[in-house]
Amino acid sequence: NAGVTQTPKFRVLKTGQSMTLLCAQDMNHEYMYWYRQDPGMGLRLIHYSVGEGTTAKGEVPDGYNVSRLKKQNFLLGLESAAPSQTSVYFCASYEENEGNEQFFGPGTRLTVL
């Protein structure tokens, strides 16, 4: 039982390049999330999904797109990377039940030059 995994762990991009971050979970959770973590700002929600085929915007969605074609996978895309998107990205999953916690992946460290 791997929990939540993220690919890749590290990536360096040049401004304007595109990339996709992959999140996978094997807990059959309906809800999945993408956060970014920046120093002093905690976790900020980018996009989330409440089930296969659904996505919704979070607090800071601009410059990102997501897809949830399969229940176990949640992809985060950057179409044209900018230095402001340099951050650590975390994926999380959650089973809907009051009081349940989110389960987090190990993170992806992205640097945009």
Partner 1 sequence: AQSVTQLGSHVSVSEGALVLLRCNYSSSVPPYLFWYVQYPNQGLQLLLKYTSAATLVKGINGFEAEFKKSETSFHLTKPSAHMSDAAEYFCAVSGRYSSASKIIFGSGTRLSIRP
Q: Interface residues with partner 1 (CB under 8 A)?
A: 4, 31, 33, 40-43, 45, 48, 50, 56, 58, 90, 92, 94, 96, 98-99, 101-102, 104-107
Question: For the chain, give me the number of helices (H) and strands (E)?
Answer: 0, 11
Q: Where are the beta strands (DSSP E) in the chain?
A: 4-7, 10-13, 19-25, 31-37, 43-49, 56-57, 65-67, 73-78, 87-94, 103-104, 108-112
Q: Which is nearer to partner 1, 17 or 107 (CB)?
A: 107
Q: How far is the CB of 77 from partner 1 (least distance, A)?
A: 20
Q: How far is the CB of 74 from partner 1 (least distance, A)?
A: 13
Q: Which is nearer to partner 1, 58 or 63 (CB)?
A: 58
**Distances 7 to 20, 22, 33, 42, 109 between C-alpha atoms, Å:** 9, 5, 15, 22, 10
Q: How far is the CB of 81 from partner 1 (least distance, A)?
A: 22
Q: Which is nearer to partner 1, 19 or 45 (CB)?
A: 45
